[in-house]
Amino acid sequence: MEKFKSLFSLDLRSLAFARFLIGLLCFVDIANRIPQINTFYSDNGILSRSVLMNNFELPWMMSILNINGSAFFALIVALIGLITSLFLIVGWRTKISLFVTWVVIMSFHARFPLVNHGGDNLLRMILFWSFFLPINSYYSVDSVLSDTPKIRPAYFGLASIAWIMQVLFVYLFTFLYKWDPGWYKNFDSLYYAMNLDMFTTSLGKKLLFFPSLMKFLSFFAFALEGVGPILLLIPWKISFWRSLTVFLFFALHIGIWMTLELGNFAPACMILWVALIPSIFWESKFFKNNLQIKSTLYYDPDCGFCRKFCFLIKEFLFLSDLTILSGDSDINILKHIQEKKSWVLVNDQNVFIRGRVFYELLQQSDFFLLRGIGQLTKKIPLDYLYNFTSQKRKILGIMINEVGAEKVYAEEGILKKSFITFFILIIFAWNVEGITNSKYFTVGTPWREIVFGLQLNQQWNMFAPTPMKDDGWFVAEANLEGGIKWDILNNKPINFNKQENVQETFPSSQWRKFLVNLRIDHNDTYKLWFGRYLCRRWNETHSKSLDLLKYTLYFVRETTSFPGTSLPVPVNEVVWNHSCR
């Protein structure tokens, strides 16, 4: 039983790091959608709510953006999500912040499904499973302000099992989807992936000059996705195998991130593995200060905020050896506090006040990166930081006292265990249905509605069974008033020639996903409403003399040929013809 617990345990410090990255990724994801609100998430964009609900909305997949169709309302929802993402980063009212962020993310995903990709699915799953885990046990405002006693870092429960099971689902099902000679026999899948100019970065293109390396990396990625997760289940030398597995998958996803533009997929995958960082990492020399300086930080006893602020500093600067006392515990220190109107740090008979305290505390941090920051700030006067905090302490005190903090709960009651078990089983069943293509097994009613209602739907078939071979770019050849021809999609003169960096012709990963889906989707309703949107957008922002009359959307298809052969001549493929009148 102890071996089993060790296999499926998570370190709470790793979960805290994952929480920080989850909040950061959610903040970036929501911020990235704000410039696209008018296009994808409002009634003035491509799809109004009525068109969405009547044609595309999946059963039970709801969005609070359906309450109001204005861009202003969507912006307010996004701003709320940004605020709660920041709260999630620091672990303040963590569960409430997590819930609101999750609802905001789901609402944007459900409002325009055609722009969602694998990274969006994974982000939702990460947010969902985080509800059941004590992600605010360490390095959080909640753990400090609620005065919750620290629990031991090694955490085992059904929630930790669920997180690891989700990791297994992602990679083992990906491995099964990719069971194709291109991955395990011909080793040419990476060659085709790097020829997808709409995704490939400049670094990815350079890999094409190293065919042997690409063959090795193609097999490495496939083998790691199949064998790697199994390494997590080896019941001896658990720390070693987990460390190795985390390192290998970090290397894989950093490589993907640097060579392919796939939205938030790579960082979301890395967050999955951050939670699995073993305890030996947190107990390594990276989190030990060899100086072993014993310091005492004294705060103003008349300042209710100051005590809490000192403990927050201790938590977030990794100051395990720091002692925090009220100034009235030492009459001489109290006089110093009153005369200098400052907190006081004492170590080795040295006394520091105001901004100098920040520098000294950074130097004493257990985390080597913070010590490095301390060295960089050595010659920077930090009194302004202390003065700012001091001047705002009443407001900060009100925030802390009014917003308060959540208790940290690590226990799992029978209801919680039942929910976790149910969702593990239903998500596993959903993945089985996907891999069998519903021929032998189907998730029926009401389970399907539950999956869509909580947006737990997932399918890990990216670049499977092999990367697509049809690459290309989009041109919208338009006829304007007065006989002028113009590319209204890219807002430039008509040019069907290949650009140097094709992936940069897409404003965002959402736009790329939408246009690619628009090309392969046989439902003309999307194309019709997209055509009306382009007409409306152009005519509202240009003079009457440049009215858009009609346009043809082309996909300039460039099919990747076999390795060692030249690329064929691109073909202009008509996606949609549209008349604005």
Residue-wise pLDDT for 235-258, tens only, equals 999 999 999 999 999 999 999 999
Note whether 90 and 137 are same-domain residues.
yes
Residue 402 pLDDT: 67
Residue 221 pLDDT: 95
Note whether 419 and 396 are same-domain residues.
no
Integer Cα distance of 84 and 121 in angstroms: 20
Please, which pLDDT band fits residue 531 given cuts at 50, 70 and 90?
A: very high
Across 4-8, 47-51, 366-370, 509-513, least confident range: 366-370
Rounded to the nearest 5°, which phi and psi values hold at 474?
Answer: -110, 140
CA 190 to chain centre: 24
Note whether 25 and 63 are same-domain residues.
yes
Note whether 391 and 417 are same-domain residues.
no
pLDDT tens track for 95-108: 999 999 999 999 99
Residue 463 lies in a domain: no
- Asked whether residue 581 carries a pLDDT value surpassing 80, the answer given is no
Total residues belonging to the chain = 581
Q: How many CB atoms lie within 10 A of CB 368?
A: 15
> Who contacts 297 (Cβ-Cβ below 8 Å, separation ≥6)?
310, 313, 314, 322, 323, 324, 325, 343, 344, 345, 357, 361
Q: Cα separations (Å) of 466 from 220, 348, 419, 577?
A: 15, 64, 36, 31
- Asked whether residue 566 carries a pLDDT value surpassing 70, the answer given is yes
Residue 111 pLDDT: 94
Report pTM. 0.93
Residue 88 contacts residue 22 (beta carbons within 8 Å): yes
3-class state of residue 575 by DSSP: strand
What mean pLDDT comes out for the span 1-5? 84
Note whether 239 and 339 are same-domain residues.
no
Residue 432 lies in a domain: yes
Please, which pLDDT band fits residue 266 given cuts at 50, 70 and 90?
A: very high
Residue 504 lies in a domain: yes
Residue 15 contacts residue 164 (beta carbons within 8 Å): no
Residue 505 pLDDT: 87
Q: Which of 373, 403, 433 is the last residue of a domain?
A: 403
pLDDT tens track for 447-493: 999 999 999 999 999 899 999 999 999 999 999 988 899 999 999 99
Residue 210 lies in a domain: yes
What mean pLDDT comes out for the span 146-151? 79
Residue 521 vs residue 30, higher pLDDT? 30
The position carrying tokens 């996004």 is 78
Residue 50 lies in a domain: yes
Tokens linked to 179:
């069971």
- Asked whether residue 440 carries a pLDDT value surpassing 80, the answer given is no
Across 30-34, 313-317, 500-504, 557-561, least confident range: 500-504
Dihedral angle sign, alpha carbons of residues 135, 136, 140, 141: positive
Note whether 118 and 149 are same-domain residues.
yes
Q: Report the amino acid identity of residue 508.
A: S
Packing angle of the helix pair 158-177, 265-274 (nearest 10 deg): 140
Nearest to 307 by CA among 297, 317, 316: 297
Across 37-41, 49-53, 220-224, least confident range: 49-53
Integer Cα distance of 474 and 317 in angstroms: 49
The position carrying tokens 């296999």 is 7
Nearest to 71 by CA among 97, 120, 26, 38: 38
- Asked whether residue 286 carries a pLDDT value surpassing 90, the answer given is no
Please, which pLDDT band fits residue 391 given cuts at 50, 70 and 90?
A: confident
What mean pLDDT comes out for the span 399-416? 83
Integer Cα distance of 92 and 408 in angstroms: 11
Residue 555 contacts residue 519 (beta carbons within 8 Å): yes
Please, which pLDDT band fits residue 150 given cuts at 50, 70 and 90?
A: confident
Torsion of CA 515, 182, 460, 263, to 10 degrees: -40
Note whether 444 and 376 are same-domain residues.
no
Note whether 235 and 351 are same-domain residues.
no
Q: CB-based burial of residue 51 (10 Å sphere; 0-12 exposed, 13-18 middle, 19+ buried)?
A: middle
Note whether 180 and 264 are same-domain residues.
yes
- Asked whether residue 129 carries a pLDDT value surpassing 90, the answer given is yes
Please, which pLDDT band fits residue 154 given cuts at 50, 70 and 90?
A: very high
Q: What is the mean pLDDT of the chain?
A: 90
Residue 460 lies in a domain: no
Percent of the chain with pLDDT over 70: 99
CATH number at residue 301: 3.40.30
What mean pLDDT comes out for the span 204-229? 93
Q: How many CB atoms lie within 10 A of CB 453?
A: 15
Which helix H or strand E contains 187, and what residues bound it? none
The domain tally of the chain equals 3
Integer Cα distance of 152 and 155 in angstroms: 7
Which helix H or strand E contains 448, and what residues bound it? helix 447-453
Range of the domain at 509: 470-579
Residue 464 lies in a domain: no
> What order do you get walking across the sheet with 344-347 strand by strand?
322-326, 295-299, 344-347, 350-353
Across 18-22, 41-45, 201-205, 282-286, least confident range: 282-286
Nearest to 80 by CA among 100, 102, 109: 100
What does 134-178 look like in DSSP terms, one character per residue? Answer: -TTSSSSHHHHHTTPPPPPSEE-SHHHHHHHHHHHHHHHHHHHHT
Note whether 387 and 485 are same-domain residues.
no
Note whether 126 and 186 are same-domain residues.
yes
Using left for φ > 0, alpha for ψ between -120 and 50, and beta otherwise, residue 278 falls in: beta
Buried b (16+ CB within 10 A) or exposed e, 240-276: ebbbebbebbeebbebbbebbbbbbbbbbbbbbbbbb
Residue 466 contacts residue 189 (beta carbons within 8 Å): yes
Residue 175 lies in a domain: yes
pLDDT tens track for 50-91: 988 888 777 778 889 999 999 999 999 999 999 999 999 999
Residue 148 contacts residue 142 (beta carbons within 8 Å): yes
The position carrying tokens 């705060």 is 299
Note whether 365 and 420 are same-domain residues.
no
What mean pLDDT comes out for the span 370-382? 77
Please, which pLDDT band fits residue 553 given cuts at 50, 70 and 90?
A: very high
Q: Partners of 345 in the beta sheet?
A: 297, 352
